[in-house]
Amino acid sequence: MPYRTDLVYRYDGTLDGFFCCVYHCVSLRELPCAIESLDSPQETLFPVREIETQEELARRVEASIRKKISQEAYCLVRDAFLSILEEKERKLLRFLLWGYREGARVMNMLADKRIHELSQAVLHARHEAHLFTGFLRFSDYDGFLIARITPKNSVLPLIAPHFCERFSGENFMIWDQTHKLGLLHEKDGEYRFFQADEMELLSPDEKELQCRALWKKFYETIAIEGRKNPRLRSTHMPKRYWQDMTEFQK
C-alpha cells in the first residue's frame, strides 16, 4: 500500500512535535509534501493535518530511532532539527524512513545526499554553538546574570550544558532573540527552557555600566596598535556576533 502524499502536516515547532509527525506518518502511511510549524503562514491548496504533540508518542519515536537505527542517528536528527536547514522536517522524515528500512548502516553512507546534507547542517549548528561559548556576554542585574544572543541556528539547547556547568552556582538567563527561546538557570542547579514572543531586558544600573566601561577599556588597552588586522579579526570574530558583545557596544 503506497503512502498518501497529497497533504501538509502542521505542528507546534518542537522536536517532540516533529516526532509525533513521524509517528503519524508511519502509522497512517502518509508522506506529507510539507511539514510546517503552526505559526508559519498557511499557504497551500492541499489538505492540512494538525498534529497534536503527545509526549508518550514522542518518546516512542525517540526510542525507535535509537533501537532501529542507532544512537548516532538520534543525535544527528536532534541536532539537525536545531539547524537552519531549509525544509529540515521533510528531509529528516525521509532520512528516518530510510533508516527504519536499512538500519544503522545508513550512518556510514556519508556520500549519500540524504545524510550528507543533514551532517553539514549539524556541523554548521555545532560550530556556531562553539563560537557562542566564547562570544556570549552576561550582564549583572543585582546578582542575576542575563545574556542575549541572536544566532542563526537554534543553538541554545547545545550551549546550555556548557553554561549550566560553568555557572552552576549562579542564577542566570540566556535569551535567544532569533528563536524566541530562553534558558533559565537557578543556583540550585535546576534549569528549564521557555518560549516567549518578546523579552524586554532591564536597563543596566550604574554598577553594571561601570563594569561594561572597564571591560571596554581593558579590551582597548590590550590591543597592540601595530598588529591590528581588521580582516583577520572579522574572520575569527564575525561581525554578526558583535551586536551582543559588550566590547563593541557604544
Report the length, in residues, of the chain: 250
Please choose, from the candidates 213, 218, 214, 178, the residue with its C-alpha nearest in 3D space to the C-alpha of residue 199.
178
Give the pLDDT score at 228. 78
Q: What is the pLDDT of residue 206?
A: 83
Distance CA 194, CA 186 (A): 14
Amino acid 2: pLDDT? 64
Kindly report the three-state secondary structure assignment for every residue of the chain.
CCCECCCEEEECCCHHHHHHHHHHHHHHCECCCEEEECCCCCCCCCCEEECCCCHHHHHHHHHHHHHHCCHHHHHHHHHHCCCCCCCHHHHHHHHHHHHHHHHHHHHHCCCCHHHHHHHHHHHHHHHHHHHHHHHCCCEEECCEEEEEECCCCCCHHHHHHHHHHHCCCCEEEEEECCCCEEEEECCCCCEEEEECCCCCCCCCCHHHHHHHHHHHHHHHHHCCHHHCCHHHHHHHCCHHHHHHCHHHCC
Helices 15-28 + 88-102 axis angle, to 10: 50
Instruction: Note the pLDDT of residue 45.
Output: 79
- Residue 100 dihedral angles phi and psi, to the nearest 5°: -60, -35
Q: pLDDT (tens digit, 0 to 9) for every residue of the chain, 250 residues total?
A: 567 788 999 999 999 999 999 999 999 999 999 999 988 777 777 889 999 999 999 999 999 999 999 999 999 999 999 999 999 999 999 999 999 999 999 999 988 998 999 999 999 999 999 999 999 999 998 889 999 999 999 999 999 999 999 999 999 999 999 999 999 999 888 999 999 888 887 778 888 888 888 888 887 787 777 787 778 777 778 888 888 888 877 7
pTM of the model: 0.86
CB 106 within 8 A of CB 69: yes
pLDDT at 179: 94
Contact between residue 62 and residue 96 where contact means Cβ atoms under 8 Å apart = no
